[in-house]
Amino acid sequence: MENLAISLNNPAFWQDRNVFVTGATGLVGGWVVKNLKKLNANVVTLVRDWVPGSLLNREKAWDYVTVVRGDICDQELLERVLAEYEISTVLHLAAQTIVPIANRNPVSTFEANIAGTWRLLEACRHNPTVKQIVIASSDKAYGEAAQLPYTEETPLQAKYPYDVSKSCADLIAQSYANTWGLPVVITRCGNFYGGGDLNWNRIIPGTIRSVLRGKRPQIRSTGELIRDYVYVEDAVSSYLLLAEKLEEIPSIKGQAFNFSNENPLSAVEIAQKLLDLMGSNLKLEILGEASQEIKNQFLDATKAKTVLNWKPLFPLEEGLKRTISWYDAYFQHANG
């Protein structure tokens, strides 16, 4: 078995396991599939759109995973996949994740994030082979809270379209666990970053791309918004470890877990760190255009550390260095 950069409870858990991954062309999904391959799992992915620059294409993952073309809202398709491939573990990462897109087109976001979740859970309810389901929620599900950091006891009280979509999916997952005993657990994480994120309006890939092209990096907001930043391989660790623990500790069914390195930073601070690491003298351009976004959000990860024995393996600077290296190689290849 290849060396893994993530922490696991029981790597043998994944060997020859039939795993269904939604959102495989996204940032975290691509890294999840890459690591499941190293663990010798049998991976089935659901892909709606062909994304040429995705990590799965760059890694030629299509050579070792089963690809089903379709939409997360197609319940009949989901039931067929779970049954025909005898899926044991479901990792649900598919979502529309961009806040400005949700503000401009909330219906597509609600369809993907809310309807997609309940249709997948309903399909799981009809397939007895499914033993573990990990649902990716978000710190955005909490909405704006008077007291920070968020703990898992903080009420879900989102107001804006993307945040509401994550609150709804989170509560629906809890409902399926509590009403029908479905083996569901929920992750709530901060902002993911790492090589493979091609959503350039996000601050980390957008800043890196600007520096590599010699352009001033732009910050959509005032630069004062405070967020958690979670390196992608720590995110992978959280999803896989949680599935393993669900088999070991059935009592966590229906529960949510925060995952965070507990080092919140403002948008200006994270962008400036990138500039410093890249040796750039470029000045940030603050646009102040972002609206309907929560000012400050960051998480307390005590529960994940104590119940799951999880911990982040990559300090912020190490994660950023790895991310910069990935994009440097990406653009060299693109320009070659």
CA pair distance 129, 86, nearest whole angstrom: 6
Within 8 A by CB and 6+ apart from 60, the residues are none
> What is the amino acid identity at position 2?
E
Contact (CB, 8 A) for 320 and 328: no
> In 3D, which of 300, 299, 222 has the Cα closest to residue 266?
222
Q: Is residue 214 part of a domain?
A: no
Q: Is residue 256 part of a domain?
A: yes
Q: How confident is the model at residue 51 (pLDDT cuts 50, 70, 90)?
A: confident
**H or E stretch at 82:** helix 75-84
Q: Is residue 42 part of a domain?
A: yes
Say if residue 3's pLDDT is above 70: no
Say if residue 46's pLDDT is above 90: yes
Total domain count for the chain?
A: 1
Q: Is residue 22 part of a domain?
A: yes
CA pair distance 41, 54, nearest whole angstrom: 21
When the pLDDT of each residue in the chain is averaged and rounded to a whole number, the result is: 92
Residue showing tokens 């649900």 = 92
Say if residue 336's pLDDT is above 60: no
Q: How confident is the model at residue 1 (pLDDT cuts 50, 70, 90)?
A: very low
Task: Tell me the per-residue pLDDT of 102-114, one tens digit each, with 9 for 90 and over.
Answer: 888 899 999 999 9
Predicted pLDDT of residue 293: 76
Q: Is residue 280 part of a domain?
A: no
What does residue 226 show for φ and ψ, rounded to 5 degrees?
A: -105, 130
User: Residue 124 belongs to what domain range?
Assistant: 12-193+231-262+296-314
- Between these two residues, 318 and 103, which has the higher pLDDT value? 318
Predicted pLDDT of residue 38: 92
- Between these two residues, 167 and 294, which has the higher pLDDT value? 167
Say if residue 306's pLDDT is above 50: yes
Within 8 A by CB and 6+ apart from 128, the residues are none
Task: Tell me the per-residue pLDDT of 238-282, one tens digit each, with 9 for 90 and over.
Answer: 999 999 999 999 999 999 999 999 999 999 999 999 999 999 999
> In 3D, which of 193, 196, 205, 222 has the Cα closest to residue 319?
193
CATH of the domain at 87: 3.40.50.720
Residue ranges of alpha helices (H) inside 126-277 are 161-180, 203-212, 232-248, 267-277
Provide the percentage of residues in the chain whose pLDDT is more than 90. Answer: 80
Q: Is residue 275 part of a domain?
A: no
Q: Is residue 330 part of a domain?
A: no
Task: Tell me the per-residue pLDDT of 57-92, one tens digit each, with 9 for 90 and over.
Answer: 887 877 889 999 999 999 999 999 999 999 999 999
Q: How confident is the model at residue 99 (pLDDT cuts 50, 70, 90)?
A: confident
Catalytic residue numbers read: 162
Predicted pLDDT of residue 181: 97
Q: Is residue 76 part of a domain?
A: yes
What does residue 295 show for φ and ψ, rounded to 5 degrees?
A: -70, -55
Say if residue 209's pLDDT is above 90: yes
